Amino acid sequence: MQSQTTMQTPPDAITTKDLSYIKDALSWELLAFKKFHFLAGQVQDQEIQQALEKVGQIHQQHYQKLLTHLQVNNQSVLANMPGGQQLQ
């Protein structure tokens, strides 16, 4: 059985594969946020409505957090790595 380690901070550069994963995660988080917001508008019970809105807000926060990981200058980071790799 392999032991998995958790990355404490995101890498300085984002690979094409990383970007694909992030795009998928953004889509899932946005969809979840929209669904919970919609459902909250459909219920009469205020306690349930608040719970649904809270869960929706958590997904919205996850979405915003993922967006911050995209705010990196990949070309600059890769140019400063050993070998001066460039993204195509």
- Share above pLDDT 90 across residues of the chain, in percent, rounded to a whole number: 47
- Average pLDDT rounded to a whole number, residues 42-51: 97
Q: Which amino acid is at 74?
A: N
What DSSP line would sit under 17-60, residue for residue?
HHHHHHHHHHHHHHHHHHHHHHHHHH---HHHHHHHHHHHHHHH
Residues 6+ apart with CB under 8 A from 38: none
pLDDT digits (tens, 9 = 90+) for 62-82: 999 888 877 766 666 666 766
DSSP 82: T
